[in-house]
Amino acid sequence: MFKSTKLFTQLNNAFVSRIALEFHSSSVRFAGHSKWANIKHIKALKDGQRAVLFQRMARNIRLAIQEGGSVNPEFNPTLKIAIQEAAKRDMPNSSIQTVLKKYAGQSEKLQRYFVELKHGQKVFIVLVLYTDNFTHFKTLLGTVNRKMGCTYTDTRHMFCEKGIVEVVGNETLNSKTPEELEEIATEHAIECEAEEFEIIDANAKHLTFICEPAELQRVKQKISALGYNIESAEHVFIPNNEITLTSDEQAWYEKTKEKFMAVDGVDTIYDNVAE
């Protein structure tokens, strides 16, 4: 899945709310720009490249088992969502069941790592990966780096890091007007100690709650307890400044991203490249 890097992408007819908790107040903007709705994070290659896509789906299922502590989706909501997502991506049920059996009771846990890289002279990258063998992963990544001209360097200071919880409201919100939804979301953001929120689509009751990365899981749990359906909860990296590549540079970088995503364990690529 490819998303835009632009922090201020126009959302037609979007109803956007923000909350500043230190003042316990909110401001409302109509037909505004959402800085969170289209954060670029490269999650997978084209759906046709099934091997890489299914590899990622299997990893998500494994992480859900690890997080929820159960291979039964009825007792593990995170796993239920992961299985539904895999099915939507046409992952065969037999493959899903194989993954469930493989990781039931497994003691080795996936760990999350951030790898900071520079591609050429202008592109700064943060790779988010999950692996239970980081030494082996670095060997695989090193091969890509040598071929594609990437080097290890400090890049995280060039990004703003936030926790983003994307949700859809339950049926109790269906009858609410945009103004009522904004009021309810304000109360819920305060209750969950989120820094701010945005209503991306008032009709669909589609919102995002924003927090510090360290608070992501706690905020996610509180939001879920309020009855929202969690679509995603991610630690994201938003570039402080973006750069534009030439057509040749862009083509080379696209090849590099494909090489990265083909490495088992790479989950997300954040960079400072403007669309």
- Every domain of the chain with CATH number 3.30.70.980 lies at 12-37+160-238, 111-158+242-271
Higher model confidence: residue 128 or residue 171?
128
pLDDT of residue 38: 57
**Second CATH level (architecture) for the domain 111-158+242-271:** 2-Layer Sandwich (3.30)
Question: Can you tell me the distance from the alpha carbon of 137 to that of 154, in angstroms, rounded to the nearest whole number?
Answer: 19
**Second CATH level (architecture) for the domain 12-37+160-238:** 2-Layer Sandwich (3.30)
pLDDT of residue 103: 87
Higher model confidence: residue 22 or residue 259?
259
Tell me which residue of 60, 81, 68 sits closest to 231, measured CA to CA.
81
* Sheet containing 196-201: order of strands: 196-201, 206-211, 159-168, 229-239
Question: Can you tell me the distance from the alpha carbon of 267 to that of 260, in angstroms, rounded to the nearest whole number?
Answer: 9
Higher model confidence: residue 45 or residue 69?
69
Mean pLDDT of 223-239: 91
End-to-end CA distance of the chain: 15
| pLDDT band per the 50, 70, 90 thresholds, residue 42 | low
Tell whether the model's pLDDT for residue 51 goes beyond 50: yes
| 3-state secondary structure at position 117 | strand
Helices (DSSP H) in the chain: which residue ranges? 50-68, 77-88, 93-103, 134-148, 178-192, 216-225, 247-261
